[in-house]
Chains A and B, each alone.
Chain A
């Protein structure tokens, strides 16, 4: 879980920083999107790097889901008879919503790829003009798209808050002071990342990016 999670988190950071290029204007953003297809050239043929990255991410996502499934199946088997009295949540809510939160994030990622990568669900869907696709996608009259993105990203934030701490712990974080630091770092990271993602749709919604 920790190792595949870290691969996915690294991608999330790069993706978020790339998204922020939208504030540098249409030409710059479209040039960035085009550059992504040219990374590694001329050593690699055009778009090869992108496909290698997509393959790595797909493997990481599948391995992440596979480990989560193993843990969920074990957890179910470990308690064949449920408690009659439903238990209260004592500790953080994020940790208790990892599994269903993960499912929501997976569904969101599928929608997101069909929306802004392949363009099938995008109102414009022009592969040559990603800037225009983003602006068309989060237009004020499509407020429900922005709402859905916001909910999915908040879910991602919860997932990262526990996931990042849990990765530290799984990889051997062992002192009480380190635990406080790891929890704080995970919270700050989750908030910054979700904030970094959300500024784009909200900038389009409020007309800052048009």
Chain B
């Protein structure tokens, strides 16, 4: 396959950045998208140019590092798939592919396609944890959890924190990420003690980080490579309404 890539190049956080066109020949349909970028980088290095910086780690769809906006879609055209698990067979010979970083004020570009997702860590630090000592794995039946709660919590726990929800959201909101963590913890007994301080702390941290507000559009859930459902945001809303009615304050109070 011969392709034309248009890639966002930005030397550093202060650089303005621009789309640069790179033709690439002899791409195998069996390559992953990141392997295709590796091939491009090898060629750029051989010709003395600066390779394209992009985030990646496990390349098996579970670490949440890859963060490419491919033709305007977070993680590319295949649903439920991270960019590292996307294969070139999803494209055709002669295609032009636009590759951009996640675009959000809360995710400043570090270089080229690499963004700083520290804002997500700040949201987690504001309440996305439990204070109960967990130690080694407890006896499974010592704390009963209803099957449907366990399933829904597990579904939300599948979030890998990649930020595709923010990238896809027309409002630049990180509410699906925040809601996934809220849902996971508020459905399990271990998450109950801090349930209502957590939701206020995490939503405040989300807003302070400069994310936009949620308007229930649903682009996030459509883009999510892990299939986090949109109704998690309803769970967050309900906890938030209860928490504000209780005036529970901030975490730790």
Contacts and interface: CB of A to CB of B under 8 A. Distances in A.
A42 interface: no
Contact of A166 (B170, B171, B215): B215
Contacts of A96: 170, 217
Contacts of B116: none
A66 B210 CA distance: 19
Contacts of B230: 179
Interface in B197-227: 210-213, 215-219, 221-223
Contacts of B104: 78-79
Nearest to B148: A175
Given A84-B19, A84-B98, A75 B216 contact: no
A47 to B, nearest CB: 38
Contacts, number: 109
Contact of A78 (B105, B218, B238, B241): B105
B235 A174 contact: yes
Contacts of A75: 170-173, 212-213
Interface residues of B, number: 40
Contacts of A86: 72
Interface in A79-104: 79-88, 90-92, 95-96, 98
B222 A95 contact: no
A58 interface: no
Nearest to A87: B72
A137 B212 CA distance: 43
Interface in A158-201: 162, 165-166, 169-176, 178-179
B120 to A, nearest CB: 14
A178 B71 CA distance: 33
Contacts of A178: 231, 234
A182 B43 CA distance: 53
A133 B22 CA distance: 66
Contact of A74 (B212, B216, B223, B234): B212
A74 B231 contact: no
Contacts of B210: 77-78
Contacts of A169: 216, 233-234, 237
B154 interface: no
B213 A85 contact: no
Contact of A171 (B8, B100, B221, B237): B237
| Chain A interface size range | 35 or more
Contacts of B19: 84
Given A79-B105, A173-B234, A74 B168 contact: no
Interface string A56-72: 00000000000000110
A171 B211 CA distance: 21
A170 B241 CA distance: 9
Contacts of B100: 83-85
Nearest to A167: B216
A83 B103 contact: yes
B103 A95 contact: no
A90 B72 contact: no
B112 interface: no
B217 A91 contact: yes
A169 B211 CA distance: 19
A77 B210 CA distance: 8
Contacts of A90: 168, 218-219, 222-223
B212 A179 contact: no
A95 B72 contact: no
Contact of B71 (A79, A80, A85): A85
Contacts of A77: 105, 210, 212
Interface of A: 1, 70-71, 74-75, 77-88, 90-92, 95-96, 98, 162, 165-166, 169-176, 178-179
Given A82-B103, A171-B237, 8 more contacts: A75-B170, A77-B210, A78-B171, A86-B72, A90-B223, A98-B215, A172-B238, A178-B231
* Leading 5 A-B pairs by shortest Cβ distance: A78-B172, A172-B238, A78-B212, A174-B234, A85-B72
